[in-house]
Amino acid sequence: MKKFIILCTLTLTATVSFAQSEKYSPAMKSNIALIDSAFAHPANFTSLANTFERIGTAEKTQWLPFYYAAYCQTNAGLLEKDKTKVDGIADKANDLLAKADSLSPNNSEISCVKSMIATAHMTVNPMQRYMQYGEEISAELADAIKQDPTNPRPNMIKGQNLKFTPEQFGGGCKTAKSELQTAAEKFSAFKPASDIAPNWGKAWNDKLLADCK
């Protein structure tokens, strides 16, 4: 009887896990498909972040839902016009990303979003906060490149940051162009690990590079 109960428990657990995984991929795909349109309606990033967080809480062992939740939350912070709200939004993104990081440490994609969270904090007051967050941004992007030299997003983010930095502080297209070109080369060869793995940034990098030509 005891063996029968154990067998039934294992069967039920496997069935529940299978049912969750069956729902997991379609749910992820449908919500990932909504990310690009959220840039035109930034409030949608918050609802998307909440949805990805719920998926992550249900799945428990998958890092991608928490990664996307943090990515959406971070974009909400970067696009927030009321700077008094940005630190709170970025702190929430950091909490979400910490869950992804615990499930997939030393991950290039996660390091990219860490740099974006630091950027969000810095935008509250760039002149006062550059010394605090500028080094963190650079360090996270350097880690992202080391963790996956084929990932185009660290170079894209570096190029983006340089493009929007005033020339008197070492920015502008002149310094951004080489990073954006490197990103473009990597994008042309990049193959995402799955159909729900991070695969964003190419169109934006192309636009930035065109602006610099």
Residue 119 buriedness (CB in 10 A; 0-12 / 13-18 / 19+): buried
Taking alpha carbons only, the member of 171, 166, 169, 111 closest to residue 138 is 111
Residue 145, number of CB atoms within 10 A of its CB: 18
Please answer whether residues 30 and 196 qualify as being in contact, where contact means their C-beta atoms are separated by less than 8 angstroms. no
DSSP string, 11-29: HHHHHHHHHHHHHHHHHHH
What per-residue confidence (pLDDT) applies to 1? 47
pLDDT at 10 over 80: no
Q: What is the pLDDT of residues 51-71, one digit of tens each?
A: 999 999 999 999 999 999 999
Share of the chain above pLDDT 90, in %: 86
Q: Give the Cα-Cα-Cα angle 114, 112, 43 (nearest 5 degrees).
A: 70
Model's pTM, two decimal places? 0.89
Share of the chain above pLDDT 70, in %: 90
Q: Would you say the C-alpha torsion 143, 121, 75, 55 has a positive or negative sign?
A: positive
Q: Which two tokens stand for residue 51?
A: 């949805």
pLDDT at 21 over 70: no
86-103 and 63-79 helices, crossing angle to 10°:
160
CB burial string 72-96: b at 16+ within 10 A, e below = bbbbbbbbbeeeeebeebbebbbeb
Q: What is the pLDDT of residues 75-94, one digit of tens each?
A: 999 999 999 999 999 999 99
Please answer whether residues 155 and 179 qualify as being in contact, where contact means their C-beta atoms are separated by less than 8 angstroms. yes
Q: What is the pLDDT of residues 127-175, one digit of tens each?
A: 999 999 999 999 999 999 999 999 999 999 999 999 999 898 889 999 9
